[in-house]
Every structure is written in C-alpha cells, then in structure tokens.
Amino acid sequence: MDAVERARKEKVFVVSTAIEACYGLAFHGLGREAMADPNDFSSFGPGSWWAAMFWGGQQRFAPGKRLLVPMDARSTASPTGDNHYVHYDSGGWSWSVPWIAGLYALACQIAPSITPERFWAEALQTGKTIRVKNDSLELEFGTIADPVALIERIEATKAR
C-alpha cells in the first residue's frame, strides 16, 4: 500500500487485482463463449470462475457498482514456439488488469490529466447493462465497459 500511495502522489494509477483495496474501485472479469463476438455486448456473461456463484446468488451486484471487463476466451502467443498460439477458455483477474490499464492509457491520450476516479466514474456512466439468462432465470447484468463510448465521452467533456 505504501508503494501505491507514493505512486498516487506522482499521479501514477497503479492498476492491479488489489484496485478495490487501494482505490475503492471495483471490477470483475467477463466470460464469453470462444466463438462469440467480443464486440457484441450480449455475448458476455459472468466469468467462468465466478459464474456458478453469480447464478447461485452469492456474486451479484447492481449495475453501476463494478466495472465489468473482458477476462475469458483469450487467444495468445503460446509458450511452445515462436509461431504457435493457444486459446484459453477460462481466465482470471490477471487477464483483466492489463485490459483496464490499456483503457486508462487510451483515456490519458485524450485527457492527460484524467484522474483514476474520473476515469472509473466515466467508464461506469458510459458502460452497458444487458440481460443474461440461465435456464429460467433472467437478470440485469452490468456495467460492462464500453471503450468507444468512454473515449467519446472523455473527448466531448475535454472540448468544453
């Protein structure tokens, strides 16, 4: 925590799996079928490792409370060779953290003085809420980060 405080004083946003403890900002990782369109918000649902808890009622939260970001269904370079690739159906928060950091970097390109708190608030404001279904249970699910809407909002508010 001391290192995070030193970074904050230097206006550096430390994005990690401990972001809630350090900044009070909450996120969770999204699941997606391997062949589903990652650009279609309706293709997302609870992440693989917490889906059972979500559908069981233990891991539910109201939209606007947590930023939901991609986690599962990732294809990456493989450790087996230079021209090899591998697909992982299941991910973890450690796969969500670089995504969040990248989105913050894009926001900083538009508004270099944007604070982590403003970035997060705008991401929650511009995010999407969808309906997810499992058997006969259908629930509201969000807030899913919408990078295009977020960057457009930051650009629009910067111009004022």
Span 89-123, pLDDT tens digits = 999 999 999 999 999 999 999 999 999 999 999 99
The tens digit of pLDDT for each residue in 25-37 reads 999 999 999 999 9
Q: What are the DSSP calls for 16-81, one per residue?
A: STTHHHHHS--EEEEEE-TTS-TT-GGGEEE-TTTHHHHHHTSS---TTSSEEEE-SSEEEE-TT-
Q: Beta strand 67-70 with 27-32: parallel, antiparallel or unpaired?
A: parallel
Contacts with 5 (C-beta within 8 Å, 6 or more apart), sequence order? none
The tens digit of pLDDT for each residue in 3-19 reads 999 999 999 999 999 99
Q: How many domains does the chain have?
A: 1
pLDDT at 158: 78
Which residue range forms the structural domain that includes residue 21? 2-158
**CB contact at 8 A, 114 and 107:** yes
